Structure 1
Amino acid sequence: MISGKANYSEIDTIRFITISIIVWSHSLLPAWHDQSTDELFKEIIKSFVKQLGAISTIIFFIVSGILMRSKLQEYSLKGYFSERIPVVYGPWLFIVCFNVLLIMFHQLSQQDLLATQSVSTVVKSIYAIINGLIVYGPYWFVLTYLVGMVVLIYFKQYSCNGYFGLVLGAITLFYALNFHFEWIDTLHSKAILGYTFFIWLGFQFHSHWKEILAMAKKITWPIMLIMMLVFFSIACYEGYILSLKGVRDPFASNRITNIIFSLIFFMLLLKIGPIRIISNLKPRKIVYGIYLINSIVLLELTVIFKKYIGYLYLVDIWVLLLLQLVFFAVTLILTYLIVCFVINSSLRWIIGSR
């Protein structure tokens, strides 16, 4: 079981590193998603950049399970929502609505949408924006987490049952194989039940925390780094192959190779342990705020630099990578500063801070 300050420091370090990688994935410049070329080296770099953004989602669900396990048996669905709406789902809904208004504002400034088009067109535009944010954009995570928690609370008597885990794992495996067979839509944000297994896995990690931590510490650095390199390369290759096949979401987080790599990366982070400089950033207070706010920062930065983005298709791959690093760093730092400001203001409720 998780107990003691040190263990929570480890989890806090993991949460900050993973949310930073999620910001990386959200901030990828459009030039990384252009059509495939015959230049193998360029495709390797592109695959590396896109795969890097896929490794945190699985870990985020696992960590959510670790943190929620101790309260699982206490929760009814009513009790869960009473506690979580003010700090998770309410702020999420507010930020989604704010994003819709912000995007509409930018559209209105360009097209005067309300004055020139019919009400039905405006409604369709709003629906398209909401759909883009929740299904195709960054805000799918909370809805997927909500569904997963509802399932796990409803079946909480089976939370330690291995067969229940196998059922959830089979659902996850179905979605992972679907990328290659395309039985249903391959978009990862539509694999709503495909992530419940990782919350359940977090429950198991919580129950066997000392053993999991000891296992991570026992793995030697050469073995750990070799596993990281091998499985990261395999995950990049799978994403590249899926790209060639024309799969809609070739670098989705719920691919089987990314799942394996994410688990190895999680063990690596446990082996590293708490990082003081990250602990000083108070990740427990700011991680959810970064998740909610980073897309707003990205939207405004994109609007500011919109006229320059089209030229990125013409730049050298190394210049593009440098620009990506700068864009990511600016996005993360601005988001962090805004979240810190909000936490220390009367508006702290909009990011779930009390």
Structure 2
Amino acid sequence: MSETIQKQKVNYDFIDSLRFIAIITIVIEHSYLWPSFVYFQTQSEQIIQTITMVFFKFGTITFYILAGFLIGDKIHTTSSLTYLKRRFDGTFKPWLFWIVVFLVLIYADFAVIYFKGGDVPAFENPFSFFWEKIKYIIVETSFWFILNFLGSISILLVFRKFLYKYWLGVFLFACSVFYSINLYFEWIPTRHTTAILGFVFYLWLGVIMHKNYSQFDSWIKRIRMLPLIIFVALTFFFSCWESLSIMNSGSTVDPYNTLKITNIVYSLTSFLLLYKVGNIKWINKLNPRSSTYGVHLIHYIIIAQILPLIFRPLHITPDGKSSFDLVLIQYGRFLFTYLVSYLLVYLINKIERIKWIVGQ
């Protein structure tokens, strides 16, 4: 009996490895210094930019699948209200705390400008400025994820009675594909950060994976590694192709949108490959279970508020840089951002009274 329990525990360790990899991809993605909606004109430069951006675009969908898997572990032992309260304490309260920190740093920047005699719109139109910054944080930064995540959980809990019905999965998948199609028709805003129903399917998929875990695990073990790698490479190629097509169509739509249909397939196949690789033991030493969410909350604040203090005096901007130069800068920004974020989370977790601010 104890051997069976231990075996299941080892199998579930894949969650920590995938969490770690997913947050790495998200921090790398956000560390870019590419010009917004300005793309290189030469094909070689476009290809370098696209490969760099698309390669790491599986992280968000991976997070939703893992979260759904963990929900499946508790769905029958916890009431909906109890579960939401736990999520509020462990997820929403830290999110609110770091939004306040983000706002304080934004206003501190403008206070410095004001005392130096500069023009400060924050003080000229305080209410509209405050509202614009709230919208910026919630819609345009990584903080969008938590509201969408909690909303997605709430939707699944509303349909709890039908959770294992496959018609629910088909409906939720259709909602996700709608956002893929919308990239070309723009019926509604195209940003994946405002895709209210765009990610619920992947949460549901994680729940179904948990319910059928032994069958899923057996199926993955029967798949050979080489064909799976080839399949991931093919889906990556098509995701890059779609991004380049959008980029060269003259559209202002984000060509690296997470909910591109090709990126959805690439993300799902990448998840299968990472699961096949299994638990990576050295990752466990970094304790991703207690650090991942904190890194997610802190990293964008460092990118938006701290990195400019370093880059502005050095006059490092995207202007005039080749795509290769920008890749090197991106990885430098990533290393600084991730290491500082991880160190802060590590130190906060050492202080019992405040460790709640990095959640779980």
The TM-score range, normalised by the shorter chain, is over 0.9
1:220 is matched with which residue: 221, 224, 230?
224
Secondary structure of residue in 1 paired with 2:271: helix
Percent identity of equivalent pairs: 30
Q: Describe how 1:198-209 pairs up with structure 2 within 5 A.
A: 198-209=202-213
Structure number with the higher helix fraction is 1
| 2:82 matched residue in structure 1 | 79
Instruction: Give the TM-score normalised by structure 1.
Output: 0.93
1:145 aligns with 149
Residue 346 of structure 2 corresponds to residue 335 of structure 1: no
Residue 133 of structure 2 corresponds to residue 129 of structure 1: yes
Does residue 1:95 correspond to 2:95, yes or no?
Answer: no
Measure, in 2, the Cα distance between the counterparts of 1:167 and 1:116. Answer: 48
Question: What whole-Å deviation, never above 9, does each CA across 1:90-115 have from its counterpart, x for those lacking one?
Answer: 11111112111111111221235999
CA deviation digits over 1:289-317, x for unaligned, max 9?
A: 11011112222122221244554432343
Match of 1:315 in 2: 321
Residue matched to 1:351: 358
Q: Which residue is 1:251 aligned to? A: 256
- Work out whether 1:306 is the aligned partner of 2:312: yes
Shift of 1:323: 2.2
* Closer/same/farther in 2, CA of residues 115 and 320 from structure 1, 3 Å limit: closer
Equivalent residue, structure 2, for 1:64: 67
CA distance in 1, matches of 2:69, 2:147: 19
Q: Which amino acid aligns with 2:76?
A: Q
- Runs ≥4 in structure 1, deviation > 6 angstroms? 113-116
Q: Aligned with 2:286: secondary structure?
A: coil
Q: Is the 8 A contact 1:73 1:156 kept in 2?
A: no
* Equivalenced residues, count: 351
Partner residue, 2:283: 278
Residue 6 of structure 1 pairs with residue 10 of structure 2: yes
Q: CA RMSD in A?
A: 2.1
| 1:160 has 2:167 as partner | no
Distance 1:130 1:309 in 2: 28
Report the CA distance between 1:9 and its aligned residue.
1.4
Q: Offset at 1:279?
A: 1.0
Query: Residues 199 and 116 of structure 1: is their aligned pair in 2 closer, same or farther, counting only changes over 3 Å?
Result: closer
Deviating more after overlay: 165-174 vs 246-255:
246-255
Q: Is the 8 A contact 1:65 1:202 kept in 2?
A: yes
Q: Which range moves more in the overlay, 343-352 or 2-11?
A: 2-11
TM-score (norm 2): 0.91
Residue of structure 2 equivalent to 1:185: 189
After TM superposition, give the deviation of residue 270 of structure 1 in Å.
0.8
Contact in 1 for aligned 2:113/2:119 (Cα 8 Å): no
Structure 2 residue 30 is matched with structure 1 residue 38: no
CA distance in 1, matches of 2:91, 2:122: 35
Q: Is the CA contact (8 Å cut-off) linking 2:16 and 2:289 kept in structure 1?
A: yes
Structure 2 Cα separation of the partners of residues 255 and 308 of structure 1: 36
Which residue matches 1:289?
Answer: 294
Alignment check: 8 A CA contact 1:16 1:287 kept: yes
Change (3 A) 1:88 1:116: closer
* CA deviation after TM superposition for structure 1 residue 118, in Å: 8.1
Aligned to 1:238: 242
